[in-house]
């Protein structure tokens, strides 16, 4: 019996190795009794690497209760895919330069913040799975705008996707290369509807889009400003002022995003300590 059992196991191992397992979120609850583990070079080197079902080289770092991304330079950019599902990661960021990386799986984490400038470090990222995380605001998705190769994105079961018009916002605001959102193909009719909802005739942002980005209102205030109400000398001055105001508004939105990122980092470090 022992010989037969060993032969059967050896025969089945190659087949099992090539199958990509995606468990239902409810079947993989967090494991509170496990001690959180730092993402060290030793952990990276000892984690399994295999050729997955889509013929990509994948590094499996899932289910390690990793609290934050660090030391990913130890991967030496040898992988097409990184599996970081079912950890305790709060911030999507702190990547080294990984031009080979095309697929990033981060389902079942605690991600609430995304660092800006991801496109500088993962310029060829095509698939990003953020299912079952804690992203709350549409403006928190702004850092994904720079990912020019992104074509598949999952934000399912994040609080942000329960907001009104969340899908249309992603279709309009994120790269136009996006073809699949939450496992559904993006339709041209959705793109058109999103443009009508969030775009302005002058090429700017609609009032709804401004409110989503938490940009301060440009409506007149009930206070006197020098020169208020006077006609401008020419349209050029008006356009220049509008451009300056838009830049100030964008700076405010960037500052708010950085504050959220820093707060999330502090919370992650406090929890780890």
pLDDT digits (tens, 9 = 90+) for 173-201: 999 999 999 999 999 999 999 999 998 88
Tell me the pLDDT band of 260, cut-offs 50, 70 and 90: low
Give the confidence band of 117 by pLDDT, cuts at 50, 70, 90. Answer: very high
Residue 83: C-alpha distances to residues 27, 47, 56, 132 (Å): 17, 11, 12, 15
Is pLDDT of 2 > 50? Answer: no
Could you tell me the pLDDT band of residue 202, with boundaries at 50, 70 and 90?
confident
* Average pLDDT value for residue range 54-58: 95
pLDDT given for residue 241 in this prediction: 58
* Per-residue model confidence (pLDDT) at position 115: 96
Give the residue-averaged pLDDT of 118-130: 97
* Rounded average pLDDT over 147-162: 97
Q: What integer pLDDT is reported at residue 228 of this predicted model?
A: 46
Q: Residue 256 — pLDDT band, cuts 50, 70, 90? A: low
Which pLDDT band, with edges at 50, 70 and 90, does 3 fall under? Answer: very low
- Residue 74: the pLDDT is 96
pLDDT at 119 over 90: yes
| Alpha carbons 88 and 66: distance in angstroms, whole number | 5
């Amino acid at each position: 019996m022992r010989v037969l059992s060993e032969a059967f196991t050896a025969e089945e191992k190659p087949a099992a190795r090539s199958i990509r397992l995606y468990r239902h979120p409810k079947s993989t609850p967090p494991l509170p009794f496990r001690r959180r583990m730092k993402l060290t070079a030793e952990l990276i080197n000892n984690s399994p690497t295999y050729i997955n079902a889509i013929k990509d080289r994948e590094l499996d770092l899932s289910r390690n209760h990793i609290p934050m991304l660090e030391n990913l330079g130890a991967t030496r950019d040898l992988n097409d895919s990184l599996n970081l599902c079912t950890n305790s990661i709060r911030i999507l960021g702190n990547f080294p330069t990984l031009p080979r990386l095309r697929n990033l799986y981060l389902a079942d984490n605690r991600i609430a913040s995304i660092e800006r400038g991801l496109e500088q470090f993962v310029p060829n990222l095509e698939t990003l799975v953020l299912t079952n995380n804690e992203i709350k605001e549409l403006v928190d998705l702004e850092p994904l705008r720079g990912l020019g190769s992104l074509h598949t994105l999952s934000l399912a079961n994040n609080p942000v996707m329960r907001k009104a018009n969340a899908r249309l916002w992603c279709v309009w605001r994120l790269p136009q290369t996006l073809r699949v959102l939450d496992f559904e193909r993006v339709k041209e009719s959705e793109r058109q509807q999103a443009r009508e909802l969030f775009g302005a005739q002058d090429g700017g942002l609609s009032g709804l889009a401004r409110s989503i980005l938490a940009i301060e209102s440009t409506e007149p205030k009930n206070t006197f400003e020098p020169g208020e109400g006077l006609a401008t000398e020419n349209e050029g001055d008006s356009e220049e002022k509008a451009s300056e105001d838009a830049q100030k508004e964008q700076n405010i939105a960037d500052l708010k995003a950085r504050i959220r990122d820093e707060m999330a980092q502090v919370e992650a470090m406090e929890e780890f300590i």
